[in-house]
Structure 1
């Protein structure tokens, strides 16, 4: 524990202080608040807040120095995963060490974590789909052998209830959750308001009923009716589009 009063992020907090791996000093409370602020900004990694210091703190270091409770850890990890998914669909957090890992192949659910492998002295892999330590043979593109391994996004698309969408032939049932046709993010419609929506992730505007762009929905076919879908409603999606940025 360091008592260096010149360090960053510790003003106003009367508590023990600890030196981070980058050399700067924090208090548990200030570190927690700083990391929470980063999470609110949509970040999934923790970077020192000292001016001119861009050092990244490993998650395990943050947990130790911030004295995070089990509940705080759970909240941090949930938000980190959500932020990472929005920022980069090819990155997820290893369930063993919470280190961000990039998927090598979209046709293989097995992902090797180099950090855990180095720690344990053996190859450590996890399932990209259920985020648990890998079980069974690999490579696999469908599922691992953990109980109830499934693609939660596809399950949501398959099992979500319907909402009513206006069409030129009346009102038809439409899945209440769609995968954005551009980036694949799941978006829910309450059935209230306009059928034309804008994806909060990629900003693409499309029709929730036919999954076409708004201009295509309005002009395709024999009708051009604002607020009414002029194309047949697309059935439930069976795959998640990949964002080709």
Structure 2
């Protein structure tokens, strides 16, 4: 098992999982002059008053899923290369793409529509981009104001959700 990554120093060296989801970082403990505990799953500092082995921080499971390295690897999927999990920007429901059709997704819970690849509500996917450029009489490589849809990681999603 890999050593957990510390949210304080962003390193795995010198960290050790203590019990359940709780881990300790030796270098941060020395720097802060107290034991620095953190959650292995959501990579946040452990709640000081928590005495249990499971994280009590809000949205721990959601944040852990969004931090996961798992990606969609089906070569036929329009969401290939995307993180396996995304959270709805409207209601924070955890979602994945079914691999069929375009990368746009509608949240089944609140109806929010967004692009699973770039996380934007208004997205110019590769087909939309080609159509827009041809409609404007431009070659496929002109007009840099129209940016193609690119896969982004969940760091942006975590910031949007305040996690």
TM-score, structure 1 as length reference: 0.31
More helix by share: 1
Task: Choose between structure 1 and 2 for higher RCO, CA contacts under 8 A separated by at least 6 residues.
Answer: 2
Larger radius of gyration: 1
TM-score, normalised via structure 2 length: 0.45
